[in-house]
Structures are given as C-alpha cells and as structure tokens.
A and B are shown apart, each in its own frame.
Chain A
Amino acid sequence: MQAKKRYLISLLTGAFLVLLFYFGGGVPGPAATGSRSRHGYSRPEQPWPHFSDPLQHFSPWDHSDTEEYNVHISPRQKRDVNSSVYKGKKCRMQSCFDFSLCQRNGFKVYVYPQQKGEKISESYQNILSTIEGSRFYTSDPGQACLFVLSLDTLDRDQLSPQYVHNLKTKVQSLPLWNNGRNHLIFNLYSGTWPDYTEDLGVDIGQAMLAKASISTENFRPNFDVSIPLFSKEHPRTGGDRGYLKYNTIPPFRKYMLVFKGKRYLTGIGSDTRNALYHVHNAEDVVLLTTCKHGKDWQKHKDARCDKDNAEYDKYDYREMLHNSTFCLVPRGRRLGSFRFLEALQAACVPVMLSNGWELPFSEVIDWNTAAVIGDERLLLQIPSTVHSIHQDKILALRQQTQFLWEAYFSSVEKIVLTTLEIIQDRVLQQTSRSNLMWNSHPGGLFTLPQYSSYLGDFPFFYSKLGIKPNPKFTAVIHAVTPLVSQSQPILKLLVSVARSQYCAQIIVLWNCDKPLPAKHRWPATSVPIIVIEGENKVMSSRFQPYDSIISDAVLSLDEDTVLSTTEVDFAFTVWQSFPERIVGYPARSHFWDNNKERWGYTSKWTNDYSMVLTGAAIYHRYYHSLYTNFLPNSLKSMVDQLANCEDILMNFLVSAVTKLPPIKVTQKKQYKETMMAQSSRASRWADPDHFAQRQTCMNKFASWFGGMPLVHSQMRLDPVLFKDQVSILRKKYREIERL
C-alpha cells in the first residue's frame, strides 16, 4: 500500500514537472523565436507589438483647418495682438523691442549723459566707457537703437554701499525711457539676505536685462543676456591671457577635482556646500569648506566646522586652482560666483553645480565644450563622472576654457562687447553669426556678420568645413606717384604680377593727387586691370573692402615693390597653407625698450620678426573688412594723418585675431637694396620722422588693443630644395635663388 502510494506520488510529481515545463517554457518559446527571426529584433523583452491593422495617418491629407483660420484672422492683426499681450516677464524681441529704430541707422547704442551728483561704481564706469569707445556708440539719441542708462544698476543689494537709492523715480523721470523699450540694463547683484530674489527693486518695463547669476526661471530667452559675475578689479581692456601655456599629454594634473570656499550652514544655497565633505578624499578630490565668515560665525557653527576649518587652512587656493584638472563651481548665495571665471582662466575645467543658472552668454556659447554641467542633486556621482571623462575630452575641454576666456571674458570690454554683439545678432536676424563662429577660434567678436554669414568666406573655417580657399588672388597696388615714364617700377610690377598663374585681376588704387592716367598707358596684360580712385586719397583706403575683390586672397603691393613672378607664385602657394595669416616678404620686428619703457620698432636684419609689411604680402580679403569695420576711427584717422603705420596696424590686427605671427617667405637678395634706391619711396623711408612715427604708432596701437598682440617668429619659409646643392633644373622656384 505504502509503496503504491509512493509510486503514485512520484508519478504525479513527474507529470507535474512535465506539465510545468510544457506550459511554463514550451509554448511561448518557439513562437517568440519565430517572430524574432522574422523581424530581426533580438531582445528577449516584449517590445511594442507589430499591429497588422491598417492604421490612419495622424493628419488628414487636406488641411481644412488652415483655411478656416485664414478666413478669420489676419496675420498682421495676430502679430499686433502678440506684441501687445506678451509684456513683462513674457517679453521677447518680437513683443518688447522696436526693430524699426535699428533699421534706420544700424545698430547704434546711446548712453545717457551722466548727471552731476550721481555716484557711479568703477565697474559701471568701465562698462559705460567701453560702450562709448566702441564702434556702436552714438551720442545722438535720435540715431540710437539701444539705450544704456547712466544710473548705476550693477549692485541692487540693499545692504551694499554701492546701492543707488530712489532708482525707481530716477528711471521713470528719464525723458527717453519710454517704458524701457530698447533699453539695456546691466546688473551684477540683485536681492539680499535672506532670500536673494532676482528682483532689481525697479520696474524695468520692457527693458532687456544683462544680468549675472540669472536663473532659467527668470531668464527671458532671446531677450535677456546672461553675463558673468566679475570683480571690481576685472581689467577694463586687454586683460590677462589664459594660464595655459602648453598642452600636456596625458592631460591630468596633480588633483582631479578641487574646491575651496565658504560654507553657509543654513539658508539659500547652503545644501550643496554642506554636503561636499562626503566627496572629499584628501587625495585627488579635495573639497574644502570653512565656516569662518561673517561676524558671528561662532554662533551658527555645527559639529563639522572645526574639523573643516583645520583642513581648509592646509591648502592654498591658488595652488589648487592651477594644479587641478577640474574645479568645482557650486552655487553660492546667488547662482553665479567669481570662481567660475577664475577656473576658466586657470584652464581648470569648471564642474558646475548650480541648478537653474543660465550660464553666461548661453545664447551663443555651447558650454558643454568647456565645462561639465553637473546636477546638485547628483553631487555624490560627481567624482565618478569626472573620472569617466576620457583624456581626449579633457584636453579639448581645457583648450576651450582658454579660448572662451580670451574671446569673451578676459576684460570688461569683452564682456560688454559680447553682450552688444549678441543683441546685434538678434537685430540682424538672417545675417547673424552661426554657432560655429561663436564657439571656435577666433570667436564671435572677430567674425563680423556684416561681411558674410557664410563660414567659407572667412579665413578661419576652411579645415573645419573641409574646403579650400579660392585658388586665385587679387593684387592691390597702392599708387601714389603720377605715371610719367614707361620705366617706372609700377609698370614692371604690373607685368610680373600679371604673369602669375594664380592672378585673377589687378586693382590699382590711385591715391595720387594727379588725375588718372589714360587707359593705354597701362601695359597690356592677360588679366584685367581695374583702376580705382581712392576715397579721400588716404592711407586706410588701401584696406577698404572693395567689391571688386572677388578672390579670397589679396596680394597687397606698394607701387615701388620689386617682385618676380616666381616669388609671387611661391608666396601664394604658401598662403594656401596658412590662409588666416599674413604671408609676405619685408619683415620687421618689435621689442620692449627697457630704458624708455615703451615698445620699439626695428627694421634691422635680425633673427626673428613679428610683422610682415603689407608692401608685398598676401592675406585674406576678410582682413580688409575687419580693418575697416572693426578698428576704431581714432586709430584709422591717426594712420591717415601720418600717412604711415597702416601696415603695422594691419599686423596688429591679424595677430590679435590669430594669436600667431605672420609668415615670411624667401625673397630675392636684391630686394632690399632696390627698394631703398627708389626715389619716391626712399624719401619716405629715409625720413627720420617716419621712423619715430612708427614707434609712436606701435605704442598707441598697443594701448588700444590692451596689450601687445604681435608674436615673434624665427621661421622663414623657403621653397623645398632652396639653395640645396642639387641641379638648379630640379628646382621649381629657381628664380628666387638667382641674383
């Protein structure tokens, strides 16, 4: 009996197992594999099923909606409605900005005259004088498109000594206020302890804000501009360069991630900093906080304070800043901090922990290429996040910090100009800069959208776009002496330049007081010769962006330059490899004169050079546009008055843009001697005043650029096989060696 039951049980168990197998795994198995193989997806989960029903389209083929709408609403009315409804916090360019003011006279900025008795902080004074010195400035409010207050609005913290009282009434009483329309208000600090609101305590009406520490919540996209927080000591012009002098590979520094700063213990913005100690490991991640700030810190201190303070004093802020790969930039009481710019300059990649901060110039700068945007909620993941970043990426991030620092942040001038350029881009609309222009070298301030909105028209983006510059050049000859004899050097020059296989056309810029010579006086050449009469016959006209210049390259020549066709050909092939630089023959150098404490200019034959004179040089036609539109009138008129230094100014400009020296190519030996022998030119060069003027120019230019942009080079580019002991017949540019 027992045995029978035992068998029965084991039988039942067996049957049970078989059934379990059959139903549990057997049936769905083949079906699932079948459908998988048929549709080629290979995941075990149950994905979205493949429905066999005939499904309808989401929108019917004919749009009857639109017609109905069209009958009822006029688009013009709709636009008017939009612009009347969306005000205040909903302001956008379409609704709160009057574009028509800009169309008449272009993008001009008016600054209200400063009133007596109004005190203005140094920082705001710097902002105002930058605008007044810029090419956007107009003193006539009737011409202006944008208005900037002379009332100091930078510090709106009521507890601050810089706080301007009664701002509200002062603003309202401005005659041109017009409820803030087309006004731009700069602000660095707003709100105060304990809640630090972003309210300025003034009704700004329809005015735009250029504000530091602005939150995404209050930021009106494409209307406000987020600017960085900068200190009183931030230089007005020029500014220090980034601290990165050379790249190291692998790009790791002594520390991986550092922070050294205050801890607030309570109140707004304290959470993240209070939690930092969790991540600190005193090895590669060093995050230090101190409670010692304010008068009564002892009262609020917590259990960690003493320990933290002791650790805090062990490290030096500067030392850590310069020796760390990443720098933590957590929010303070306000969203932004000085630390952000400090880290950027020090090539320490900022790791942002400031939720809701609209990063500076976020409208145009792609911060993912220069910073790690962290999330305050994920503080504990930050170490593993930064460790996971590949070293190639770190190298790129670090270089980008330096580019951005020097392009947009290193001085008050750059911050203000970037703000104005962003607004100008909105006004220009279809001809504004593309993202690539803002985020790659040389940056938005040096790429003028008025010149072209096409990347390939600029000298900077050829390799990024995988294209090459146009393989022809236009020669521009600057003529100042009348044409009297057929043996004049200008005629020889015309012939030898025209013979170059790369020459597209020759432009003679007639800056001579005598009338134009008759057409037949010019030699017959295979390329067209265009004679342009110079505007006002001034020096700067040689760098005018003439419409007739159609090629990318410009060969700039003095009328007495002596060049052979081979030399021109060779210089042009070199330029094709360096389209953003000046490539030419006569080289000069600058030096710092310790005795006189000023810059000096030398034309001696030396081992290095920092300028290539534009009497015989090839450069990109964009620099004509930049020279004419970017440089201030003060410098251009100085050049015109002296009739000198235009070549130095061009070199300053190009080096300021590229941060690189020009390129000197080989010239035939007799070049210098011949040039000095020329009668007309000799008078100019032999004049001792002429030389002294050039010294003065150098110093004047350097002060406007806020530093010396010229860079020395010890390299000259010669044809391969130049003066090598091989048969002259094997050399392509053999003329250059021949005396």
Chain B
Amino acid sequence: MCASVKYGSRGPALIPRMKTKHRIYYITLFSVVLLGLIATGMFQFWPHSIESSAEWSLDRRSVHDAPLVRIPMSSPIPERGDLSCRMHTCFDVYRCGYNPKNKIKVYIYPLQRFVDEVGVPISSTGLSREYNDLLSAISDSDFYTDDVSRACLFIPSIDVLNQNSLRIRETAQALAMLPRWDKGMNHLLFNMLPGGPPDYNTALDVPRDRALLAGGGFSTWTYRQGYDVSIPVYSPLSAEVDLPERQPGPRRYFILSSQTAIHREYRVELERLKEENGEALLLLDKCSNLSQGLASVRKRCYKGQVYDYPQILQESSFCVVLRGARLGQATLSDVLQAGCVPVIMADSYILPFSEVLDWKRASVVIPEEKLPEMYTILKSIPHRQVEEMQRQARWFWEAYFSSMKAIGMTTLQIINDRIYPYAARTYEEWNNPPVVKWTSVNSPLFLPLIPPRSPGFTAVVLTYDRIESLFRVITEISKVPSLAKLLVVWNNQNKSPPEGYKCSMISEGLTSFFFLSRSECINKFASVFGTMPLKVVEHRADPVLYKDDFPEKLKSFPNIGSL
C-alpha cells in the first residue's frame, strides 16, 4: 500500500516509459486507492464533521456512545485477589522502566459498556460522576499516557467504586476481557464502598487476579501492605458545601457525634457519656420529619432542634467517626473539612493513605471497646496539641481528601513512590501543612556532630584591590595552626586598580551610603525569602574564662579581647 502511493507520486515521470497495459493498470490502482481513501475518510470523520458544525462539537460526548461489549456466559473469571501479592511478586516493574523524571505512565482504557448475554449491564449506575472525575483528572495529569505500550499502570474504565451497584461475576469477567489484563498485572482498581450484606467484606469482592486495589475501608486482614493503597471514602458533600477554614482553637462543643447510622449498642454508650458530661457532648441523629434525599443529608437533629450539616461540625473540637457496616466512613472527610479532630473508632481499619500520612498528628484512634472512656481520653490531650490536630486535619482534607482528583493523584503518587523509592516524597512533604513548611527549619546538616580539629578549616579571602591588607590578612591567618588551606578570590576584572584609591576605601568604606545600600539589600532579600530568616540573639560566644581574672598564660585563647 505504502509502496504504491510512493510510485503514484512519481507516476507522471515513470509512465511514459511504460507500456499502455501498465499505464491502465496504474490508473486503475490509483482510482482504487483513491476511492478507498475517500471511503475511509468518510467512515472515520463523517459523524464528527457533522458535529463540528455545532457549537460544542466534540464535548457532546455521551456515555451512551461508548461501544457495547457483550460478555459471553462462559467468559473466564479472574482468580480471587492473592493475599500474598507484593510489588516484587505481582507487579511487572519492567513495564515502568528507568526514566529520568521518575514518573510512572498511566493508561486509561477507553470507555466501554459491558452487558451480559441478554443485554443487562454489569452495573446499575454505569459510570458514576466521581469515577468520571477521577479518570479525567488522571488523564489531565502528568501521569497520563495514551500509548498503551509505554504504560506502567493500567486503569480500567469499569467503575467499581461502589460494590452494591455491581454484578460481581459479570464485572470480573469484564475485567478479564480487557486487552492488556494479563492476570491483572499492573492494573489499578478504585473502590470506595466494598462488601455487601450481610457481612460486608472489607475489600472489593470482585475477583481481580493480581490487580492492585485502591480501597476505602480495608481492614488489617485484607490490606496487602505495600501493595494496595488505602483511600478515603469520598464525601460528595465536599463539592456541595464550602466550609471556610476556621482558626484552630476551643469550640462550643467538646465532642460531636453526627453520624446517622450508629449501631444501637454504640448509641446507648454515647448517650450514657452524654448524661455524664452534659453540654460538652452533642449527639445528633437524622431528622425524622424530613423527607429522604439531599435535604435530609444536610440536616441533623437533636430533640427536635435542627442543625445544619456539615456546618455544625465546625462547632466542635472532636468529632466521632464510628464504624458502620463498613470500616471506611464518608463522615471522616466531612469532619476533616470542618477542621474538627476525628476520633476514629473502627478496629483493624487501615486509615486512608496511612502509608504516607502520619495520622497521629491529625486524629485520635480509640479502640471500639474503649468508647465509654472516650471523654477521659480526649480530656487528657493538651490544648496546644488539639489546635495542631485541628490544623493538620484541615490540611489533610485540602491536600488529599477534597476532590476525586486529590484522591486519585495521591494514590498514583504513592504507587509512584514505591516504584522509584529513591525519588519518593518525604515525610515532611506529605505531612507538613504550608504554614509549617514556611516556618520550619530543616537544616541540611542535621546530625549533631562535633567535628575533630584535625581536618582544620579553609580560609576564603575575597579581595578586590587592597593588596596590602590582603597580605596582612594572609600573614595573620596563616599563623593559625588549624588552617588547612587558604583560598584567595580575586574579584577584580580590571587588573590594576588606581593608586590612592585604597586609602579612600578604608576611610569612606563605612559611610552612611554604604549602610543605606546594605539595608536595602536586607529588605530585598527578606521579600524574596517571604519572611525574615535572620534571627536576633543577645548572646555571643566567647572562650570560657574570657576576660576572667585568671593568669593569661593559662587561657586557651589568651589574645582574644585584649586591645
């Protein structure tokens, strides 16, 4: 095909030398190729060229346009997730390769609509708004590649965020039908609501071979440490409600419980706590008189009094996040957004992003058993720590919980850090809120070392043109026993400075102009640094015995301070 096109372009020059038979042959060939091309062009671009005349052209894509795929009954089902999977056993690292940017490449399968043999879709919701947000965030990020052969990680477009809306067997079959599935190697699934009635497993029940699972609600028994990623359960309220950040500090209530579906046993215990401690606790439940739906989600009630949710969360220092049927609760996200310190009571729960986030600085984890002791435990936490936790909670929400994009990017970054551990983000980068990042000091020389005298020191002398004083400095400094090397930086491009200028420098060097320009420098530098990094102290270091009434010859540094 390619060759014939080449010939074609050179056709006119070649043809005269050919026989008529050949000429006809070529003309026919051309016509065929031409017609073929026109046909292909029509087929490929026809619908779009029509759409392009409309205002929103390509954007008016609909999920219903996605190709329909029928899953045969006998289609293979992947194996259940292998609990012993780790990055070095179940992940093909060769696909990621070495790259100077240390960034993995992520491929997203194009959207398909999977149906079973009789045409019933595998999921009752299809593509959810959240999963769509997640995938478009990934496709807009630096991780994305459309080149399937260069990809290191594959993300199916099959939405498994909520297991309840899935048909387990068919979803599994659909996964196995993905062209690059290969036993689930390097595939990443996102799931926030795992398990189903009656016993609610803590990981997605869909068989998935070796695929990695980013799951919300792992327990220590289903979480494969260093392989799976524990993610939060996204709260759709995050996008609905704008809660402005509140300064850390004491709040109206000490403990707030806002969850609606708390088990009876626990509600009884909470009520007992409320009796003991009165006004410090606020126990909210859903409002009985309101209809279902969004309106009821935004309201909470206590004895007929109605409160706005999630705004009420900002009125409390601590907010209870109790396990429900599942370990992961969307409430956690609301609580963090409100800058309320979560009191997490969900035994064996793997906290979201616990691989990188230091939850001890943002939350209190209490065993379910100790619910009755909650009040005393929380009272023992110092105020300063509570304030720091409030700030940290809000920062965790902003950086890692606030949107599906944040959740997706954090998940990919965690996996990226595992593949390129030497380029991984540090504890400080993950955990320090911007305020701390600005004010904290992380010295590059952090180890308390008292270096020995033996290597001595290197003297660096900057000189412009004052040769005499330079020589004086050199002679003086070379008397010092611990001097190892002396480096003179000649900072003068015009070799010979004018005579007599030296003296004027000495006398006029310290004029008011000189100081003025230096204070301008200080202001300039401070504005570049954002803050004033210099610190004022009132002490200076002197030798022990400095100017003490003590025989001079017995002092280590006798000459210092003598005039």
Contact B440–A465 (Cβ < 8 Å): yes
Which 4 interchain pairs have the tightest Cβ spacing?
A: A466-B439, A23-B41, A69-B325, A246-B451
Known contacts: A6-B15, A28-B48. The answer to whether A13 contacts B30 by CB under 8 A is yes
List residues of A (229-261) whose CB comes within 8 Å of B's CBs: 244-247
Within 398-431 of B, Cβ neighbours of A (below 8 Å) are at 417, 421-422, 424, 426-428, 431
Chain B 354-391 interface mask (CB, 8 Å, partner A; 1/0): 00001011001111110000000100011011001000
Residues of A within 8 A of B438 (CB): 466
- Are B544 and A381 touching (Cβ within 8 A)? no
A15, A355, A463, A718 — most chain B CB neighbours (10 Å): A718
Digit string of A116-145 for contact with B (CB within 8 Å is 1, else 0)?
Answer: 000000000000000000000000000000
Q: Which residue of A lies closest to B191 (CB)?
A: A58
A452 interfacial contact with B, CB 8 Å: yes
Contacting pair B366 A430 (CB below 8 A): yes
Q: Are A74 and B542 in contact (CB under 8 A)?
A: no
A55-B132, A373-B422, A573-B538 known; A66-B325 Cβ under 8 A:
yes
Residue with the highest number of chain A CB atoms closer than 10 Å, among B16, B236, B448? B448
Interchain CB contact under 8 A, A16 and B30: yes
- Tell whether B45 is near chain A: CB-to-CB under 8 Å: yes
Question: Are A65 and B16 within 8 A (Cβ)?
Answer: no
Is A727 interfacial (CB 8 A cutoff)? Answer: no
Residues of A contacting B126 with CB < 8 Å? 55-56
Q: Find out whether the CB atom of B11 lies under 8 angstroms from the CB atom of A403.
A: no
Q: Is A369 an interface residue (CB 8 A)?
A: yes
Give the contacts of B32-87 with A (CB-CB under 8 A).
33-34, 37-38, 40-41, 44-45, 48-49, 51-52, 56-64, 84, 86
A216–B226 Cα distance when bound, in Å, is 9
Number of B interface residues at 8 Å Cβ cutoff, please give it.
156
Q: A389-405 interface mask toward B, CB cutoff 8 Å, 1 = contact, 0 = none?
A: 10011011001001100
Indicate with 1 or 0, residue by residue over A5-30, a CB within 8 angstroms of chain B CB atoms.
Answer: 11011101101110110111001101
Extra contacts besides A434-B358, A453-B385 (8): CB < 8 Å: A10-B11, A51-B61, A76-B265, A388-B422, A395-B444, A607-B544, A719-B540, A722-B547
Question: Among A366, A429, A433, A574, which residue has its beta carbon within 8 angstroms of that of B427?
Answer: A366
Give the residue name and chain of the A residue nearest to B11 (CB). A9
Contact with B along A447-491 (1 / 0, CB 8 A): 000001111110000011111000000000000000000000000
Beta-carbon contacts of A63-81 to B below 8 Å, as 1s and 0s?
1011111101111100100
A607 in contact with B198 (CB, 8 Å): no
Contact B45 A659 (CB under 8 A): no
Closest to B200 in A: A69
Cross-chain contact A69 with B192 (CB below 8 angstroms)? no
- Which residues on the B side are within 8 Å of A577 (C-beta)? 537, 539
Question: Which of the listed residues B88, B111, B220, B537 has the most CB atoms from chain A within 10 Å of its own CB?
Answer: B220
Whether A20 contacts B37 by the Cβ 8 Å rule is yes
Q: Point out the residue from B34, B385, B540, B541 that lies within 8 Å of A452, measured CB to CB.
A: B385
- Among candidates B31, B146, B361, B369, residue contacting A79 with C-beta atoms closer than 8 Å: B369
Nearest chain A CB to B506 CB, angstrom units: 22
Question: Taking beta carbons and an 8 Å cutoff, which residues of A are in contact with B?
Answer: 2, 5-6, 8-10, 12-13, 15-17, 19-20, 22-24, 27-28, 30-32, 34-35, 38, 41, 43, 45-53, 55-59, 61-63, 65-70, 72-76, 79, 82, 86, 90, 92, 94, 99, 216-217, 221-222, 244-247, 355-356, 366, 368-369, 372-373, 375-378, 381, 384-385, 388-389, 392-393, 395-396, 399, 402-403, 429-430, 432-436, 439-441, 452-457, 463-467, 570, 573-574, 577, 587, 605-609, 658-660, 664-666, 669, 711, 713-720, 722-723, 725, 732-733
Question: Taking CB as reference atom, which chain A residue is nearest B38?
Answer: A19
In the bound complex, how far is the Cα of B41 from the Cα of A24, in angstroms?
7
Q: Kindly list chain A residues whose C-beta atoms are within 8 Å of the C-beta of B89.
A: 356
| A5 pairs with B366, CB closer than 8 A | no
Q: Separation in Å of the A74 CB from the closest CB of chain B?
A: 6
Tell me the bound Cα distance from A55 to B438 in angstroms.
41
Please give me the residue from chain A that is nearest to B199 by CB atom: A73
B439 and A47 within 8 A (CB)? no
Check: B140 CB closer than 8 A to any chain A CB.
Answer: yes
Which partner residue on chain A sits nearest B421 by CB separation? A373
Name 26 interchain pairs, CB-CB below 8 A, sorted by A.
A16-B30, A17-B9, A23-B38, A50-B59, A55-B127, A56-B128, A58-B159, A69-B198, A73-B198, A75-B263, A99-B367, A245-B451, A246-B449, A355-B88, A356-B86, A378-B98, A385-B422, A430-B366, A434-B360, A453-B360, A466-B440, A466-B441, A665-B539, A715-B544, A722-B542, A723-B547
Contact yes or no, B366 A455, CB < 8 A: no
Encode contact with A along B294-325: 1 for CB under 8 Å, 0 otherwise. Answer: 10110000000000000000000000000111
> In this assembly, does B104 line the interface, its C-beta being within 8 Å of a C-beta of chain A?
no
Q: How far is the CA of A528 from the CA of B498 in the complex (A)?
A: 69
Task: Return the chain A residue nearest B344 by Cβ.
Answer: A430
The yes or no answer to B130 lying at the interface (CB within 8 A) is yes
Given contacts A55-B127, A378-B98, contact A45 B146 (CB under 8 A): yes
0/1 interface trace, chain B 518-553, chain A, CB 8 Å (1 if under): 000000000000000000011111111111111000
Docked complex: B279-300 residues within 8 A CB-CB of A: 292-294, 296-297
Q: Which residue of A lies closest to B561 (CB)?
A: A723
CB contact between A35 and one of B57, B127, B221, B563 (< 8 Å): that residue: B57
Give the complex CA separation of A457 and B324 in angstroms: 35
Are B129 and A75 touching (Cβ within 8 A)?
no
The reply to whether B543 and A716 contact each other, CB–CB distance below 8 Å, is yes
What residues on A are CB-neighbors of B555 within 8 Å? Answer: 607
Chain B: minimal CB distance from A429 (Å): 6
Indicate if the CB atoms of A430 and B146 lie closer than 8 Å. no
Whether B221 pairs with A92 at a CB distance below 8 angstroms is yes
Distance (whole angstroms) from the CB of A431 to the closest CB of chain B: 8
CA distance A441 to B549 in the complex (A): 39
Which chain B residues numbered 477 to 506 have a C-beta less than 8 Å away from chain A? none
Q: Which of B431-460 contact A (CB under 8 A)?
A: 431, 435-436, 438-452, 455
Q: Which residues of B contact A399 (CB under 8 A)?
A: 445-447
Q: Tell which of B33, B159, B200, B447 touches A403, judged by Cβ atoms closer than 8 Å.
A: B447
In the complex where A69-B324, A79-B368 touch, is A31 in contact with B422 (Cβ < 8 A)?
A: no
Q: Inside 8 A of B424's CB, which chain A residues have their CB?
A: 368
Q: Are B8 and A13 in contact (CB under 8 A)?
A: yes
Q: Which of B30, B88, B541 contacts A375 (CB 8 A)?
A: B88
Indicate if the CB atoms of A13 and B136 lie closer than 8 Å.
no
**Chain A: minimal CB distance from B540 (Å):** 5
Closest chain-B Cβ to A272's Cβ sits at a distance in Å of: 12
State the Cβ distance, A209 to closest chain B Cβ, in Å: 16
Determine if B297 and A368 form an interchain contact, defined as CB atoms under 8 angstroms apart.
no
Q: Are B545 and A607 in contact (CB under 8 A)?
A: yes
B377 in contact with A430 (CB, 8 Å)? yes
In the complex, residue of chain A having the shortest beta-carbon distance to the beta carbon of B223:
A221
Q: Does B112 contact A (CB under 8 A)?
A: no
- Any chain A CB within 8 A of the CB of B271? no
CB distance from A257 to the nearest CB of B (A): 13
Kindly list chain A residues whose C-beta atoms are within 8 Å of the C-beta of B234: 58
A692 CA to B17 CA, complexed, in Å = 120
**B63 with A51: CB separation less than 8 A:** yes
Could you say which residues of chain B place their CB within 8 Å of the CB of A373? 421-422
Q: Is the CB of B538 within 8 A of A55?
A: no
How many angstroms between the C-alpha atoms of A399 and B165 in the bound complex? 52
Residue of B nearest to A40 (CB): B140
Q: How far is the CB of B325 from chain A (nearest CB, A)?
A: 3
Give the nearest-CB partner of A463 in chain B. B441
Q: Which residue of B lies closest to A439 (CB)?
A: B427
Taking the nearest CB of chain B, how far is it from the CB of A223, in angstroms?
A: 9
B63 lies within 8 A of A217 (CB) = no
Is there an interface contact between B129 and A718, defined as CB atoms closer than 8 Å? no
Min CB distance, B141 to chain A, in Å? 10
The chain A residue sitting closest to B190, CB to CB, is A58
- Write the nearest CB–CB distance from B265 to chain A, whole angstroms: 6
Asked if B264 lies at the interface with its beta carbon under 8 angstroms from chain A, I say yes
CB–CB B98/A47 < 8 A = no
B136 & A52 in contact (Cβ 8 Å cutoff): no
Q: Tell me whether A48 and B15 are in contact (CB under 8 A).
A: no
